[in-house]
């Protein structure tokens, strides 16, 4: 299960997608919208994505994990649109026979999402709004929004 969705993420479905009778561990990561970022009060976030490419990149991350951990099962779902405080933005579930591999694979998934998946975030605060650069926060947008979004 690799998906970009506009509706709330059903975390139990994400977990169910990786259940395996040979798995000794299922590790989940649930990324939520927080209220305070660097001391600023967030009102809500807006996520946009180049959806078809983002889904392909999520699938690629899953393939990379399964190459490193052949017995792993992976599910990743990222939500786009307007998200309120405490909404789930991303859910990742990984099952493996041993817990250390599940933890490592799950951490790898979220870091790769931030590194390579074309998803953009606009933060709305009490005193303004701003498109945040890439998911790692290492790129800023000169025009106030991602160039890829113009296409």
DSSP 149: G
| Cα(88)–Cα(79) distance, integer angstroms | 8
- The pLDDT, as a whole number, for residue 120 is 92
How would you label 101-127 residue by residue, b for 16+ Cβ within 10 Å and e otherwise? Answer: bbebbbebbbebbbebbbbbbbbeeee
Phi, psi of 68 (to 5 degrees): -75, -35
- List of the chain residues with pLDDT < 70: 133-151
- The pLDDT, as a whole number, for residue 150 is 45
Among candidate residues 54, 91, 70, the one with its CA nearest the CA of residue 22: 70
- Ordered by start, the domain boundaries in the chain are 2-132
- 41: which 2 tokens? 């009060």
CA 93-96-102 angle, 5° bins? 60
| Cα(95)–Cα(103) distance, integer angstroms | 9
- The pLDDT, as a whole number, for residue 85 is 97
| Cα(72)–Cα(20) distance, integer angstroms | 9
- The pLDDT, as a whole number, for residue 135 is 58
| Cα(15)–Cα(24) distance, integer angstroms | 14
- The pLDDT, as a whole number, for residue 131 is 87
Q: Which class for 33: exposed (0-12), middle (13-18), buried (19 or more C-beta within 10 A)?
A: buried
- The pLDDT, as a whole number, for residue 69 is 97
The CATH superfamily of 2-132 is Molybdopterin biosynthesis MoaE subunit (3.90.1170.40)
């Amino acid at each position: 299960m690799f998906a970009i969705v506009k509706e709330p993420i059903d975390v139990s479905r994400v977990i169910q997608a990786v259940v395996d009778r040979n798995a000794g561990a299922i590790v989940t990561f649930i990324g939520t919208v927080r209220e305070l970022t660097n001391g600023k009060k967030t009102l809500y976030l807006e996520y946009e994505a180049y959806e078809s490419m983002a889904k392909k990149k999520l699938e690629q991350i899953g393939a990379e994990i399964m190459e490193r951990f052949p017995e792993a099962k992976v599910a990743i779902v990222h939500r786009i649109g307007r998200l309120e405080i405490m909404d789930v933005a991303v859910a990742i579930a990984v099952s493996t026979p041993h817990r250390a591999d599940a933890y490592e694979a799950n951490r790898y998934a979220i870091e790769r999402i931030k590194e390579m998946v074309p998803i953009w975030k606009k933060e709305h605060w009490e005193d303004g709004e701003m498109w945040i650069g890439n998911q790692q926060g290492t790129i800023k947008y000169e025009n106030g929004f991602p160039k890829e979004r113009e296409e």
